[in-house]
């Protein structure tokens, strides 16, 4: 390996570290997520946000849009879906007109 290549590779190490790795993965530090599949089974279609937060704890609103007269709001628990869903526990719940429509768990432990 030439000196030039070695210096180039050495210069990349801090950049990759800052990004969290070669693919840009970066954990949000949410490994202390307490949500389990058993608690998610309690979340049912038609529940409102207060009912879901009574089960899962406080969520974070991450999206909202209106289409065809329906308001869709996305909430997450334990992390950020776009950043963490491959390597950390994350739960995304979509509410349509204020009621649970879709529950999407990523990397949630069984117990």
Convert the chain into a string of H (helix), E (strand) and C (coil). Answer: CCHHHHHHHHHHHHHHHHHCCCCCCCCCCCCCCCCCHHHHCCCCCCCCHHHHHHHHCCCEEEEEEEECCEEEEEEEECCCHHHHCCCCCEEEEEEECCEEEEEEEECCCCC
**74 φψ region: left (φ > 0), alpha (ψ -120 to 50), beta (else):** beta
| Residue 101, pLDDT score | 98
| Residue 5, pLDDT score | 44
| Residue 104, pLDDT score | 95
Which CATH fold would you assign to the domain 30-106? Beta-lactamase Inhibitory Protein; Chain:B, domain 1 (3.30.1450)
Whole-prediction pTM: 0.69
Q: What are phi and psi of 109, to 5 degrees?
A: -70, 155
| Residue 72, pLDDT score | 97
Sketch the domain layout of the chain as residue ranges.
30-106
| Residue 56, pLDDT score | 96
Per residue of the chain (111 residues), give pLDDT as tens.
444 444 344 443 443 333 333 333 334 444 578 899 999 999 999 999 999 999 999 999 999 999 999 999 999 999 888 888 788 899 999 999 999 999 999 998 887
| Residue 61, pLDDT score | 96
């Amino acid at each position: 390996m030439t000196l030039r290549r070695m210096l180039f590779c050495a210069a990349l190490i801090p950049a990759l570290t800052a990004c969290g790795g070669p693919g840009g993965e970066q954990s949000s530090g949410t490994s202390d997520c307490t949500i389990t599949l058993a608690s998610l089974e309690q979340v049912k279609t038609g529940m409102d946000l207060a009912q879901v937060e009574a089960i899962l704890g406080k969520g974070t609103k991450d999206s909202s849009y209106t289409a065809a007269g329906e308001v869709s709001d996305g909430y997450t628990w334990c992390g950020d879906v776009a950043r963490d869903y491959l390597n950390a526990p994350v739960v995304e719940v979509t509410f349509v007109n204020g009621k649970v429509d879709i529950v999407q768990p990523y990397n949630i432990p069984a117990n």
